[in-house]
Homo-oligomer: A and B are copies of this chain.
């Protein structure tokens, strides 16, 4: 029951379909409202005490500010090893996911006796302060299809869910910079996000999630021309796809991308939130 010298956590990937930007005085109260899918595909994070903090993916050291901030906040230093079946920087919430996995695994390794909400808060604040995410961490902690009905860490934000899940197809076209986009047009994003979320709160179903996400993509003007041409092709084939916020990635339920002639990656909605591995 007590941690060894090394602990492992698994955190699901998270694709945001629509969101608002909500900045408070405190990073705990800062975040976003919106909706997204947590995925069976995700990230494995292991934490081992070390005199200096490094984050490794394979053999390579990566600069993952959110994970480093988590360890600083917890007053520990460690070697963090990351493995994932999802690509980084294309809209799967991996910065937040690695931060949350680091918090969970560090709590076990260093016997910190923090509650889940405390660890989620540390990871959320780290992701917000690093500028890499506003709502992934709280969704990843829960699992399933998550509605962020109020923004922020546990105690500030509040969550609801859309029941059900299913097969998810996605197609990665390229990278986008989350900090740049959030700085560029927060008001336009938030207006479109509020409209989409209102619609989704009235009819919290999987099909309305996709339609509201598609409208959000249109109204924010965030789609690149490559994304737009995939969205149009899926629509022509009778399906609904949307853009992963924020990456040059398109996603949809079932076989919407295959049906439109693409060769997508496949995962499923994951019903299990972030957890320690045993």
Which residues does A use to contact B, with CB under 8 Å?
1-2, 104, 107-108, 113-117, 119, 142-144, 147, 154-155, 158, 160-166, 201, 203-208, 253-254, 268, 271-273, 275-276, 278
Q: When the two chains form their complex, are residues A117 and B160 in contact, meaning their CB atoms are under 8 A apart?
A: yes
Number of copies: 2
Alpha-carbon gap, A114 to B164, bound state (A):
11
Q: How far is the CB of A176 from chain B (nearest CB, A)?
A: 28
Q: When the two chains form their complex, are residues B1 and A114 in contact, meaning their CB atoms are under 8 A apart?
A: no
Q: How far is the CB of A226 from chain B (nearest CB, A)?
A: 26
Q: When the two chains form their complex, are residues B207 and A161 in contact, meaning their CB atoms are under 8 A apart?
A: no
Q: When the two chains form their complex, are residues B104 and A116 in contact, meaning their CB atoms are under 8 A apart?
A: no
Q: When the two chains form their complex, are residues A206 and B160 in contact, meaning their CB atoms are under 8 A apart?
A: no
A203 / chain B contacts, CB cutoff of 8 Å: 113
Alpha-carbon gap, A215 to B2, bound state (A):
21
Alpha-carbon gap, A119 to B163, bound state (A):
9
A143 / chain B contacts, CB cutoff of 8 Å: 143, 272-273
Q: Given A104-B163, A143-B272, A144-B275 in contact, is the A1-B115 Cβ separation under 8 Å?
A: no
Query: A144-B275, A163-B275, A271-B275 provided; 9 other pairs, C-beta below 8 A?
Result: A1-B253, A1-B254, A115-B147, A116-B160, A116-B204, A117-B161, A119-B163, A164-B276, A272-B272
A116 / chain B contacts, CB cutoff of 8 Å: 144, 160-163, 204
**Most chain B CB inside 10 Å of its own CB: which residue of A2, A161, A203, A254:** A161
Residue of B nearest to A205 (CB): B113
Q: When the two chains form their complex, are residues A115 and B276 in contact, meaning their CB atoms are under 8 A apart?
A: no
Q: How far is the CB of A195 from chain B (nearest CB, A)?
A: 18
Alpha-carbon gap, A195 to B108, bound state (A):
25
Chosen A-B contacts, 20 in total, with CB atoms closer than 8 Å, are A1-B164, A1-B166, A1-B254, A2-B207, A108-B164, A113-B205, A113-B208, A115-B147, A115-B204, A116-B204, A117-B160, A143-B143, A143-B273, A155-B158, A163-B275, A164-B276, A165-B275, A165-B278, A268-B278, A272-B272
